[in-house]
Amino acid sequence: MNIETEVKIATPSAAEAARLLRLAGFEVTHPRVFESNQIYDWPGETLRTSHRLLRLRQVDQKFTLAYKGVPDRSRHKSREEIEAVTADGPELAAILERLGLERTLRYDKYRTEFGRPREAGVAMLDETPVGVYLELEGAGEWIDATARAMGFDESHYITASYGRIFREWCAVRGVDPGRGMVFETHPPPW
């Protein structure tokens, strides 16, 4: 069983996040890419209300279907993650819809992945329409040490999904979530 352990940390800008990563010894391992994510759920959002997730992500012509189980929330979010990669995203989406699932949210982001030599953890710089986040994924001890190296502590940790972050962002501003968390214009590279 594959268990994903992660936290998000809000940062003021992509340039500042990249600077902090470099100062902590990170290098880009996967260049900046645009991701379009579609969340699927049953009518009544039974997956969301049970804290599970079914996501179809597109990066270029590669599609990744991911199931994420119920999280174990402590200071980090840990949960089962099962992924399958395909080039047949539209067909996969049609299958999901024929099974009665519907698209409940779309969210977009730019992601740049960073790593340090001989370390298993990954740091991702995510630029979203509602803010910039560092996502640290790895063992809990690695997450804590990495966050500290960049000047963050547990009080900065966010364990919410991007869907929840977006819904809360909309609620605070009185904005209708409408089309989802999508860019009106695409930001330039940092």
Tens-place pLDDT, residues 99-140: 999 999 999 999 999 999 999 999 999 999 999 999 999 999
- What's the confidence (pLDDT) of residue 190? 65
Distance of CA 96 to the CA centre of its chain: 21
Q: What is the 3-state secondary structure (H, E, C) of the chain?
A: CCEEEEEEEEECCHHHHHHHHHHCCCEEEEEEEEEEEEEEECCCCHHHHCCCEEEEEEECCEEEEEEECCCEECCCEEEEEEEEEECCHHHHHHHHHHCCCEEEEEEEEEEEEEECCCCCCEEEEEEECCEEEEEEECCHHHHHHHHHHCCCCHHHCECCCHHHHHHHHHHHHCCCCCCCECCCCCCCCC
Q: How do residues 134-181 score in pLDDT, each as one tens digit?
A: 999 999 999 999 999 999 999 999 999 999 999 999 999 999 998 899
Domain residue extents for the chain? 3-173
Which is nearest to 162 in space by CA: 64, 16, 58, 39?
A: 39
Structure tokens at 183: 């860019």
Predicted pLDDT of residue 101? 98
Q: Which residues of 6-40 are buried (b: 16+ CB within 10 A; e: fewer)?
A: bbbbebeebeebbebbeebebeeeeeeeebbbbbb
* Phi, psi for residue 166 in degrees, rounded to 5: -65, -45
| CATH superfamily entry for domain 3-173 | Hypothetical Protein Pfu-838710-001 (2.40.320.10)
Q: Which of 169, 168, 131 is nearest to 9 (CA)?
A: 131
pTM: 0.94
Q: In this structure, are residues 96 and 86 in contact, taking their beta carbons and an 8 Å threshold?
A: no
Average pLDDT, the chain: 95
Q: How do residues 6-39 score in pLDDT, each as one tens digit?
A: 999 999 999 999 999 999 999 999 999 999 999 9
The tens digit of pLDDT for each residue in 66-82 reads 999 999 978 999 999 99
